[in-house]
Amino acid sequence: ISFKGIMPGETFVYKFKLQQSGTYWYHSHSGFQEMTGMYGALIIEPRENDIISANNEHVIQLSDWTDDDPMALFRKLKVQSDVFNFNQPTVPEFFDDVSSSSISNALQRRKMWNQMRMNPTDLADLSASAMTFLMNGSTPMANWRGLFKVGEKLRLRFINGSSNSFFDVRIPELKLTVVQADGQNVEPVTVDEFRFGPGETYDVIVEPKNDAYTIFA
Ligand SMILES: [Cu+2]
């Protein structure tokens, strides 16, 4: 809206006053370019010493990728919004509802969802049937070396750079201490797992006791 865009091969220098530091990211807002990889991390170091101490840090940016033309996917959703939802409530779920409450409650519930023209399993427009989920641009088949070192205090800057997907993130056998959310330092909270939606960032501190772990999202 505000300018004519950056043509292929051109460069453009953005200038803006920094009022903040922390983990942020950027992405394109035109032509579904974000879904085809036009995004990246923006890490802003604090002017003074960082109060979050770590021996090392890595950015882990999650995204969702489609082998289809995103415009074609969008067209399908415009025609039928639940085309990728293969978990629709049908007759058996209706009888489950009847037996767990009553027939009038079950009918009432169906009526409510019908009025909204939605269903209770409508969690995201696109699911794994249309998407592959990526970490730093790599598929789930990929592997990284040298990320974890025993005894090192490691800061992982998680970014949900997806167009559509919520992620539940955990590293089995490692506690995650959340120290920053959306670029703002927070009172540290130690968890086994966190959930974040498109656009959100969480920085966590981990202290590996082995040199191999799975980052699961
Ligand atoms: Cu955006």
- Strand 39-44 and strand 22-27: pairing? antiparallel
Q: What are the residue ranges of CATH 2.60.40.420 in the chain?
A: 22-68+128-206
How many angstroms is it from 98 CA to the middle of ligand 1?
42
How many angstroms is it from 33 CA to the middle of ligand 1?
11
Query: pLDDT tens-digit profile of 145-166?
Result: 888 999 999 999 999 999 889 9
How many angstroms is it from 57 CA to the middle of ligand 1?
25
How many angstroms is it from 90 CA to the middle of ligand 1?
35
How many angstroms is it from 25 CA to the middle of ligand 1?
10
Rg of the chain over all Cα atoms, to the nearest angstrom: 21
How many angstroms is it from 83 CA to the middle of ligand 1?
24
> What is the pLDDT at residue 27?
93
How many angstroms is it from 47 CA to the middle of ligand 1?
27
How many angstroms is it from 97 CA to the middle of ligand 1?
39
Please name which of 112, 119, 57 lies closest in space to residue 83, comparing C-alpha atoms: 119
How many angstroms is it from 194 CA to the middle of ligand 1?
22
How many angstroms is it from 27 CA to the middle of ligand 1?
6
> What is the pLDDT at residue 145?
83
> What is the pLDDT at residue 1?
64
> What is the pLDDT at residue 119?
81
> What is the pLDDT at residue 195?
97
Cα→Cα distances 24→16, 62, 132, Å: 14, 13, 23
Q: Which helix (H) or strand (E) element contains residue 104?
A: helix 103-116
Query: Is 206 in a helix, a strand, or coil?
Result: strand
* pTM value surpassing 0.75: yes
Tell me which residues of the chain have a pLDDT lower than 50. Answer: none
How many angstroms is it from 29 CA to the middle of ligand 1?
6
Contact (CB, 8 A) for 58 and 66: no
| Domain 22-68+128-206 class in CATH | mainly beta
